[in-house]
Amino acid sequence: MSLPLRVLMLLSTLVLFGGAPKVVAQEIQPRYRFEVGQVLRYRLSEEQTIRNSLMPGEQSQKMDRVYRFTVLAWDADARTATLEVRTESMRIETTGGPVKEVYDSSSSNNDARSPTTKMNDAMLEQKIRITLSDRGDIIAFRGIDVESILQEAFGDAASNQFFQMQLEEIRQSLSDENMRTVFQRMFIQLPATELSPKDEWQQSIEMTLPVFGPMKVDTNYTYVGVERKDGARQAQIRFDRSFERGQPGKISPGGIELSIENLTCTGNGLVSFAVDEGRIQRMTLMRTETGTLKPAVEQPGGMGAATVEAKTRSTLELLGDG
């Protein structure tokens, strides 16, 4: 076959099957984009397994929440949006040995007398307000009414001295400071400059973890490049995250005060960011936490120190508008 004929056949094939491959521009300057009245629904799914060196088997927990973000306002000068966040639905499944507990907000089979059910039901009625910059930084945060939730869930028992340590742990986990950190991790921080493949940037968050107190979480991002998926440009961003906490923390399962020491956490993930729409399409994170668990007050013949390892897989995905 002559060279001109080969070229002609190649051109015909390209035309027949949609033309020459399209080159997607790789240099980007990603920003979150908001429109007043816009509604975005995200599902956050987590699967966690916990192993304790002094106990057989493992504990597991599966959580599935759907959040509804509504854009209330956009400040073009400050480049910030005001968002209202509500938990639309929630499902939590906890397994420890032969025992399995399930809460499902869409089910009528939840134990209506259980404090856990009452607390989760009350959470669904709460609204959170966030002021977010177009680079993903939470500027202001107004959380939930924790005391009303505890009163709804525990009633008069909320003032019982026996429950105070457990209730304080719940207060810390639902506090504005901790909830702000939870939502901040749902919005990756974008750099001020334009990105090219293999560019890297860092982010550090000062946070107060329930039980453990203040610590710093370091995240390293790497821009991989842009792919075209479903007709949209999606930037692929890899990240790794880590923190250490040398100071012990205390927990009280079943009213027994335990100390957790040498807590470390490492994780890595991948983000698909819709460049033109200005929003996260999907984010996955695998993290591993380890620590040493022992009685806060050691007693002769009591429980010794145990090594605890928790592995968690988290997936955040956009369900769509409205």
Q: Does residue 88 carry a pLDDT above 80?
A: yes
pLDDT of residue 8: 46
Reply yes or no on whether the pLDDT at 230 is more than 90: no
Q: Which of 16-25, 164-173, 278-287 has the lowest mean pLDDT?
A: 16-25
Structure tokens at 206: 């000062």
Weakest mean pLDDT among 141-145, 309-313, 318-322: 318-322
Is residue 53 classed as helix, strand or coil in its secondary structure? coil
Mean pLDDT value across the chain: 83
Which value, to the nearest 10 degrees, does the dihedral of the CA atoms of residues 171, 173, 176, 177 take?
120
What was the pLDDT predicted at 17?
43
- DSSP for 159-225, written as a single string: G-GGGHHHHHHHHHHHSHHHHHHHHHTTSPPPPSS-B-TT-EEEEEEEEEETTTEEEEEEEEEEEEE
- DSSP-assigned letters across all residues of 76-129: TTTTEEEEEEEEEEEEEEEEETTEEEEEETT-S-S-TT-HHHHHHHHHHT-EEE
Quick: pLDDT tens for 255-292: 556 667 777 888 999 999 999 999 999 999 999 988 77
Per-residue pLDDT, 35: 95
pLDDT band at 297 (very low <50, low <70, confident <90, very high): low
Is residue 5's pLDDT more than 60?
Answer: no
Residues 159 and 55: beta-carbon distance below 8 Å: no
CA-CA-CA-CA torsion for 109, 115, 121, 125, nearest 10 degrees? 170
Compute the average pLDDT of residues 196-214. Answer: 78
More confident residue, 208 or 76: 76
Distance (Å) of CA 176 to CA 107, 170, 180, 189, 210: 29, 12, 6, 20, 12
For 107-119, write each residue's pLDDT tens digit.
988 888 888 899 9
Q: Is the pLDDT confidence value at 200 over 90? A: yes
User: Does the pLDDT at position 14 exceed 50?
Assistant: no
pTM for this predicted structure: 0.81
Give 301 or 173, the one with higher predicted confidence.
173
